[in-house]
Amino acid sequence: MAPTQWELQLSSPDYPQALRDTPDPPKTLHGFGDVSLLGPSLAVVGSRRATPYGIACTRRFAGWAAAHGITIVSGAAIGCDLQAHQAALDADGRTVAVLGCGADVDYPRRAREVLSRLRTDHAVVAEAPWGCQPQRWTFTRRNRIIAGLASAVLVVEAGLPSGTFSTADFALAAGREVLAVPGSILSPECRGSNRLISQGATPITDESELREALISCGLSPFTDQNECLFDPSSPGGGPLLRALRADAMRPDDLARALKQDVVTLGRNLAALEADGLVVRYRDGRYGVA
Amino acid sequence: MHATVMTATLSGVEALPVEVQADVTSGLPMFSIVGLGDTAVQEARERVRSAIRASGLEFPNARVIINLAPAPLRKHGTGFDLPIALAILVATRQIPTAVVQRVAAVGELSLDGSVRSVPGVLAHAYAAARNDLALLGPSCILPAASAVGGVRYRVVNHIRSLLTEGDYTIAPDASLASDATSVPDLADVAGQESAKRALEVAAAGGHNLLLVGPPGSGKTMLARRLCGILPPLSHDERLETALVHSVAGISEEAVLAGRRPFRSPHHSSSVGGLVGGGAPCRPGEVSLAHNGVLFLDELPEFGPAALQSLRQPLEDGTVTLVRVEGRVTYPARFSLIAAMNPCPCGYLGDSERMCRCSEAAQSRYVSRIGGPLLDRIDMQLRVDRIDPQQIMEAGDTESSVIVARRVAAAREFALEHNRTFAAPGSRLFSEYAIQPLARRTIESYCRTMHLSGRAVTKLARVARTIADIELTDTVSQDHVYEAIRFRLDVS
């Protein structure tokens, strides 16, 4: 199926309202895919030279948010951005890529497969006209669109100075909430994200904090029981993880709370433990890893 | 004048035949016993003399020598009183020789001539049956004789009754009554569903179980209910266990009725108290728990020597003691169920009270148990105090009878498949019919948790038992997952 191609003028009714309200909205948006995805969303951005830590955090938070019905916006760059799209795809969520080149140009090369999936099933947008090749300065311009489209920006790893840090600057200018994942004070890759936190960005250290932050900026992550995404093979894994994320619990109490028999519950717990999703504490309770 | 009476002395759980020879000759009046008897045997002289006189019989005013043959064998206990008195009375022709022909006598004498019971009559009954002798002794030989079956016996309550040739009764072939007394029921325990399941698995596979939890969480209550879900003792098991109890001088009635022994020695017990010892050698708690349950409450409080002494019985199912009087072997195949607090103050992880122990104190506490012993424990479970509200609200739970039925079925299923619990690691997976997926789960789990090869074996064993409870031929991933829940992680 060929991707649908569109152009949106600033005056067009489909033009995303959030972006229109920013100080410097692009005159025209070129894009592919589902225009309706350009609504409330979470931008997940990070360093191109992502460390394993950055990649793990990106996958965790972007995957979680996508699984809870939040559209993930990112820049399709190597590193954290690409991981954010990939995590959203893996979680069967929705995701939008904002490119610094023409929306029909596969850049970076490594993102080609992801981009082609995004053009058909999700959305890819760009300010630059069709066929426009990437230029250094187009990426900084692109970052203001990412910040403008999203309701909040989650910065996973950012050096200083860096393009990611500039996205955060645009977000602040546009009045968007900035969330940041804290990192090691020794790592240059985390200097930017840590600086953001000291300047007032909301630190995100786990899913519950992310959930709260999303709700406070007007996004509404699903609260249904359908969280099997973390362990599709075990049907009890969903509600179980939800309960454990709220508080570490004993198997007997969990079984009662979830109205399951203790044998089935115990097997599910052990399955999650074997997958490294939950851990058994020394006091006999189980909690999320 | 000369006479011989057969009797036996205990060595381990066996009664070894001993001949009591009496020689009464003229000379300076004296009474001596030779043949390596202990103090109790030497003191028989006073009891025998008084008992014979009190019965209106005559103690010879002559030179009386008693020899206990074979002379090099050490003999102990008061069971020689009756045979010695008999030998003297026969030698002095006060009772007919026929009374002691093809007879093994055992019993302690009171000064008034009445016959008292002694420990180990069951072993004596065995020895009598083996040597085709009739058994003569106090009334306690009656249940022993009927347990062994086919033994001729005669009860004597006073040596006066020996003046006549009495009738011997042949005990009917052993038919053992079943136990009517009640054991603690699982249905009495509110909540604690995980722990009940762990008990079921432990009972079905004969796994040793460690319960960890704060004071008042019901560890002891649960442990006491393990016997109730084990199948009743088989005929052979009853006799094996009763023999040990008999030798130790403990009533074997409950065991003969099929009830599995439940032993819970205090944590101050010595090595000898646990595995046996002393002079004369007595079986320890591990042997008294043979075919039953040994419950060690407050495991880390046991002395290190006592804990390490459990390793041999846990491995071999027997205890071999080497003492001056020789080697003694007692059977000791039991299910170990141990309980401990998670830390010295006991409240680590408790929902209400704070633990006041330092991290170092916690790990020191656990390390007292020692790796080698923990290696022999297959399953561990955390037990917690439950809410008073839950106790009130707890509905009907399964009674021991229902769980026992499943346990018995699982054991039978395992037996049908000729399962050996000592399958070597290399054949483990094929022998236990573990599905490839389940096998990969075990492997990857052990790799991520850095578990030893022994832990792999334990997981496989427990998973196999869980499959047996469900009467399924192969071990699936679900079974492995459940086994993972019972993994040991104190250490």
User: Between chain A and chain B, how many beta carbons pairs sit less than 8 Å apart?
Assistant: 67
pLDDT at A225: 36
Q: Could you tell me if A73 and A61 are in contact, meaning their C-beta atoms sit under 8 angstroms apart? A: no
- According to CATH, the topology of domain A5-216 is Rossmann fold (3.40.50)
ipTM score: 0.70
pLDDT at B399: 86
**Cβ within 8 Å, pair B485-A250:** no
Say yes or no: A271 contacts chain B, CB-CB below 8 A: yes
Strand spans (E) along B284-363:
293-296, 318-323, 326-331, 335-340
Q: Which of A249, A282, A285, A286 to mutate to test the interface with B (most CBs of B within 10 A)?
A: A282
pLDDT at A226: 36
**Cβ within 8 Å, pair B481-A266:** yes
**Cβ within 8 Å, pair B191-A252:** yes
A-chain residues near B478 (CB < 8 A)? 267
- According to CATH, the topology of domain A228-288 is Arc Repressor Mutant, subunit A (1.10.10)
Q: Which of A281, A283, A286 to mutate to test the interface with B (most CBs of B within 10 A)?
A: A283
Enter the DSSP assignment of B114.
B
Q: Which residue has the tokens 């109730």?
A: B228
B-chain residues near A269 (CB < 8 A)? 485
pLDDT at B420: 60
Distance between CA atoms of A4 and A244, rounded to whole angstroms? Answer: 43
Q: Is the pLDDT reported for residue A92 higher than 90?
A: no
Environment class of A279 (CB within 10 Å of its CB; exposed 0-12, middle 13-18, buried 19+): middle
**Cβ within 8 Å, pair A270-B212:** no
pLDDT at B361: 86
Q: What is the largest CA-CA distance in chain B?
A: 89
Distance of CA B287 to the CA centre of its chain: 4
B-chain residues near A261 (CB < 8 A)? 193
Integer-rounded Cα radius of gyration of chain A = 20
pLDDT (average), residues A280-288: 81
Q: Which residue of A has its CA nearest to B211?
A: A284
* Mean pLDDT per 10-residue interval, chain B, length 491 residues: 92 92 94 94 95 94 95 92 95 90 94 94 92 92 85 90 78 61 80 89 92 89 90 88 91 85 92 88 93 93 90 88 86 93 85 82 86 86 82 76 91 81 59 81 79 83 92 89 84 56
pLDDT at A227: 38
A-chain residues near B193 (CB < 8 A)? 252, 255, 261-262
Could you give the domains of chain B? 2-170 (3.30.230.10), 186-400 (3.40.50.300), 417-491 (no CATH)
Omega of the bond leading into B83 within 30 degrees of 0 (cis) = no
Produce one character per residue of A176-202: b if its CB has 16 or more CB atoms within 10 Å, e if not. bbbbbbbbeeeeebbbbbbbbbeeebb
- Distances from the Cα of B361 to the Cα of B187, B300, B348, B353, angstroms: 37, 12, 12, 18
Q: Across chain A, what does the average pLDDT equal?
A: 86
Hey, where are the domains in chain A?
Answer: 5-216, 228-288
Q: Is the pLDDT reported for residue A209 higher than 80?
A: yes
A-chain residues near B441 (CB < 8 A)? 274
Phi-psi category of residue B239: left, alpha or beta, with phi > 0 → left and psi -120 to 50 → alpha = alpha
Q: How far is A287 from chain B (nearest CA, A)?
A: 13
pLDDT at A234: 42
Q: Is the pLDDT reported for residue A228 higher than 60?
A: no
Enter the DSSP assignment of B37.
B
Closest C-alpha to A197, from A168, A235, A233:
A168
Residue count of chain B, please give it: 491
Q: Is the pLDDT reported for residue A223 higher than 60?
A: no
